[in-house]
Structure 1
Amino acid sequence: MSRAFVNEDNAAAQADQPVERQVSAQPNYVTPAGLAQLQARVAELQQMHSQQTAQGERADKQRIADIERDLRYFNQRLQSAQVVASNATDQVRIGHWVTFADEQDREQQVQLVGEDQADAASGLINWGSPLGRALLGAKVGDEVVWQRPAGDLVIEVVAIKTG
């Protein structure tokens, strides 16, 4: 048998396997709510896996492979999670709600959270994002530079609240 046919068979078998989810190199800081979300996601995936494998031969093998990939990812995220909580509001920390104003005095409020909890539409910003890095450690009244692809923007921290 030609080696070309063997390689084609291996390539076809690998095509059925989902691509692994990339784990960030930044520390996995999470808020208490973020930790609860990770725990809920792992429990949900475990339940889905049990339901699929209970179907025996009728189980969707691709679906099982996708669930197992996600379980590996979220279990790793759960294991590496470092819960950060602070009641002090002297400077911006992970978990704080921050109100800031831009150069036209337009105010915006965001909460700095871990990357798995981030949801920009809800105002939940990854602490490692450009905006998160700009705000982290700032105090009320501080002006910081938010380095954006559209150009740098000077913003002023107006208020800091605990999450």
Structure 2
Amino acid sequence: MKERFITPAGFARIRAEYEQLFGEERPKLVETIAWAAANGDRSENGDYIYGRKRLREIDRRLGYLAKVMKEAKQVDPASQPTRDQVRFGATVELADEDDLRRVLTLVGDDEADASNGLIGWSAPIARALLGAKVGDERIVRLPAGDKSYEIIEIRYP
């Protein structure tokens, strides 16, 4: 089993989602299902059918979140001793061949959100960047072909 690294902020987001689902959304849904079941015929009762389906989704998500929290190893990027290299938790500014710049933060796979620049540490681009220093050039193998990036800046919180 590979290690499940996560930042403290990512762990807090996962815990908050778990508590919201378990403490608020699930009890309300169980109440709605009980009310709908008491209304009689369940075969055509939309509240009952949708409620049961949504309850299964919530329970599946709760199981996943519980597993993540149990297996997660929190790593605080602020305590990173080697700040001149790209490591877990680093925020990296990159420039490609056309000098198009982008900023990425290497985080745990369970907290990755590419649309917000949070890249899971086992993603191809993250693996290519690990250990790099400012000025280094790294080639990333992408489905569309190889792409070269230069490391412009490395920051840690």
Letter in 1 for 2:68: R
Of all paired residues, the percent bearing the same amino acid is 38
For residues 107-163 of structure 1, give each alpha carbon's deviation from its aligned partner in whole angstroms, at most 9, with x where no partner exists: 211111112221111111111111111112211121111111111112111111013
Counterpart among 29, 32, 37 of residue 52 in structure 1: 29
Unpaired runs of at least 5, structure 1: 1-24
Q: Does 1:101 pair with 2:95?
A: yes
Q: Structure 2: how far apart are the matches of 1:50 and 1:116?
A: 26
Aligned to 2:98, the other structure's residue is in SS state: coil
Counterpart among 107, 115, 120 of residue 114 in structure 2: 120
For residues 60-99 of structure 1, the aligned pairs below 5 Å read 60-87=51-78, 88=81, 89-99=83-93
Alignment TM-score, normalising by the size of structure 2: 0.81
Name the structure where helix makes up a greater proportion of residues. Answer: 2
Q: Structure 1: how far apart are the matches of 2:2 and 2:100?
A: 31
Aligned to 2:77, the other structure's residue is in SS state: coil
What is the root-mean-square deviation of aligned Cα atoms in Å? 1.6
For residues 24-76 of structure 1, give each alpha carbon's deviation from its aligned partner in whole angstroms, at most 9, with x where no partner exists: x6422111111111101111110211212234252522221111111101110
Letter in 2 for 1:30: I
Name the structure where strand makes up a greater proportion of residues. Answer: 2
Q: Structure 2: how far apart are the matches of 1:127 and 1:73?
A: 19
Aligned to 1:147, the other structure's residue is in SS state: strand
Unpaired runs of at least 5, structure 2: 37-47
Matched positions, count? 139
Q: Does 1:152 pair with 2:146?
A: yes
Alignment TM-score, normalising by the size of structure 1: 0.78
Q: Does 1:131 pair with 2:125?
A: yes
Aligned structure 1 segments of 4 or more residues deviating by more than 4 angstroms: none
